Amino acid sequence: MNKYIMPVLILAIFEAIAVILWLTKDNLFYLFNFSYIGLSISLGVFLYIQKHAYARRVVQLLVGLYMLVYLGLICNENMQMEGFWYYLFTGTFEAATIHYAVAKIFGPLLFGRGWCGYACWTAMVLDFLPYKIPKHPRKKLGWIRYIAFAASLIFVMALFLAKVGNIERIMFWAFIIGNIAYYAVGIVLAYAFQDNRAFCKYICPVTVFLKPMSYFSVMRIKCDSQKCISCGKCKSLCPMNVDVTDNSRKRSNGTECILCMECVRNCPRNAL
């Protein structure tokens, strides 16, 4: 039964967050929201333990579609970077700010870039494309993410400085247009670079938060050097080009690991 401790623990952590936010914010939505996400993730971990090949994709679709369709399109919450800045500037600790705090700023100290592997609605679509394993070495284009990050900040700051009316409505349309742009750029880049995760590697502004925080992640893949035969399979399969055989925090592309477990599932010596 020990192997089922992890899904139970994950569910317990999310339930704790759900209850704390429900009681402190006096809003039943948080109980529903975090319970649903916790259940989805623990179901995925359970399926993974059962060696279900599509365990990660199940979670990605359950959480990604919920956030995109229910929170974004139905509840009109801009959960993208612009929404985060908007709620931050208005001093509201609500949906987007809580989402960023839990999934993308402080959460990565515990679960690294689990968000990118199991919940992101952008990657949910990109992962359907044919280049799951990058066909070419990584390019030195990561600087583009800082431009995207600055652009989102400047866009929202400009709305406030210009005292534009009905920013809430603008945020809704920014969410729609922003997502269409992300999908379009992500799909074009995936085909151009023959790499499904090219958008994640070079463009996504959220990585400005995710990368430094996940450097300190408690959850990370480690390699047992006694078992490893240096076959290189893990690195050649990794969608994010991580050198997972190096256990140091400074390993090559270490802050890119999305905990997809492809390396673990395919290691011939169970060294990971």
Nearest C-alpha neighbor of 195 from the set 204, 186, 203: 186
Q: Which amino acid is at 208?
A: V
144, two tokens: 């583009």
How many chain residues touch ligand SF4 (CB under 6 A)?
36
- Binds ligand SF4 (CB under 6 A): choice among 179, 196, 245, 255: 245
Show the DSSP H helices in the chain as ranges.
Answer: 5-25, 28-49, 55-65, 81-89, 95-99, 108-111, 114-118, 121-126, 144-161, 167-193, 198-202, 207-214, 233-237, 262-266
Please tell me whether residue 261 binds ligand SF4 under the rule CB under 6 A.
yes
238: contact with ligand SF4 by CB under 6 A: yes
Question: If binding is defined by CB under 6 A, does position 221 make contact with ligand SF4?
Answer: yes
Does 204 contact ligand SF4 by CB under 6 A? yes
Site stretch for ligand SF4 (CB under 6 A), options 66-74, 93-101, 151-159, 233-241: 233-241
**Residue of 98, 153, 242, 251 that binds ligand SF4 (CB under 6 A):** 242
To ligand SF4, the closest distance from the beta carbon of 9 in angstroms equals 19
82 scored as a contact of ligand SF4 (CB under 6 A): no
Residue 228 found at the interface with ligand SF4 (CB under 6 A): yes
User: Cβ 121 to ligand SF4, closest distance in Å?
Assistant: 8
Site string for ligand SF4, 39-68 (x = CB under 6 A): ------------------------------
- Which segment (7-15, 94-102, 170-178, 238-246) binds ligand SF4 by CB under 6 A? 238-246
